[in-house]
Amino acid sequence: MKNILIVLSILFLTACQQKNNKKFFQGDALGTTYHITFFSDNELNWDKGLDSIFEHVNKSLSTYLPNSDISKINKGDTTVQVDEMFKDVFLLSKDIFKSTDGYFDPTVGNLVNAYGFGAENLNHITAKKLDSLFSLVGFQNYKLTPDNRIEKQLANSYLEFNSIAKGYTVDRLAVYLENNGVNNYLVELGGELRVNGKNTDRNQAWRVGLDNPYQDELNREIIAVLEMKNQGLATSGNYRKFRVDSLTGEKFVHTINPKTGKAEKSNVLSASVLAKTCGEADAYATAFMAMGIDKAKEVLENEKAIDAYLIFTENDSTKVFVTNNFQKQLMPN
């Protein structure tokens, strides 16, 4: 479940009214919404530049578009030569697949679809069907060749980067702004975000709020406020999003455990992750949801550049684990 960050700075935005160099763009992209705030004296065609990035990401990575590169690869097209965006996401995913001991695995796509959380509708899921799909899971079976083609050992396996693509897109939007001389910005897409510099409108660091995982859509409650600078942030949780089997009525949460092939709820209710890039934060947040609190603590101990705010359950009570660096950026209550 994404989209559970409240961007406090955005709550006060009136585009370009407070300062002439303040820019604000919002809209729909990649199946969600985006909000981009930055400060620049340049009067470029910003809309066109931002839209081109969304279009490029869709063409390369969207499993919802039948003619995208990733859709062609999933259909068995071995002639596709992937672009730099695909390569970036593929190689970053390989690194995080290894560092999370396989809990971040972009090859769970067939299971995501089977449970109804992907590009296909939910059907009744039999144990036999799940077993056959689970046998196709394993990112170690994919290889990027020197001529930028994707080789897969299992012909019917399915690749999808939905658990990292939004974060990566945020990073590409950020790079676009920086390449055009923007030093102070906040980019948010579907709850994933990246900031640089500060909110010069208020002469303070960018501030975002973390949602209470037990709230409902009508009563939003912030449990913590975070000051950010030159970082990416992503939050994942499965407490609201679920699907119901049309025949059995069984409820499934949206986190797929790559180790079991099942849509199951771990003891982590919410994972908010800080990293150098939003793509990294996005992927680790997904992995922490699947692996549970003990394994998440182990990974955080080994990955010093990653920080997290984890809400979890233990003995029927709700607890919070926060890394030291994350704690330092939290605003006092």
pLDDT digits (tens, 9 = 90+) for 57-71: 999 999 999 999 999
Closest of 17, 51, 18 to residue 34, by C-alpha: 51
Percent of all residues in the chain with a pLDDT value above 90, rounded to a whole number: 64
Closest of 158, 231, 225 to residue 192, by C-alpha: 231
Tell me the pLDDT band of 117, cut-offs 50, 70 and 90. low
In the numeric block, which tokens belong to residue 214?
Answer: 């037990």
Which class for 122: exposed (0-12), middle (13-18), buried (19 or more C-beta within 10 A)? middle
Whether pTM exceeds 0.75: yes
Which pLDDT does position 223 carry in this prediction? Answer: 84
pLDDT one-digit tens code per residue, 184-235 = 999 999 999 999 999 998 999 999 998 776 655 556 678 889 999 899 999 9
Residue with tokens 């620049």: 40
Distance of CA 292 to the CA centre of its chain: 18
Residue 284 CA to residue 35 CA, distance in Å, equals 23
Through-space distance between the first and last CA atoms of the chain, rounded to whole angstroms: 26
Is the pLDDT at 129 greater than 90? The verdict is no
For residue 189, the one-letter residue type is L
pLDDT one-digit tens code per residue, 227-252 = 998 999 999 875 544 444 455 554 44
pLDDT one-digit tens code per residue, 250-297 = 444 457 888 888 777 778 888 999 999 999 999 999 999 999 999 999
**Ordered structural domains, the chain, with CATH:** 5-328 (3.10.520.10)
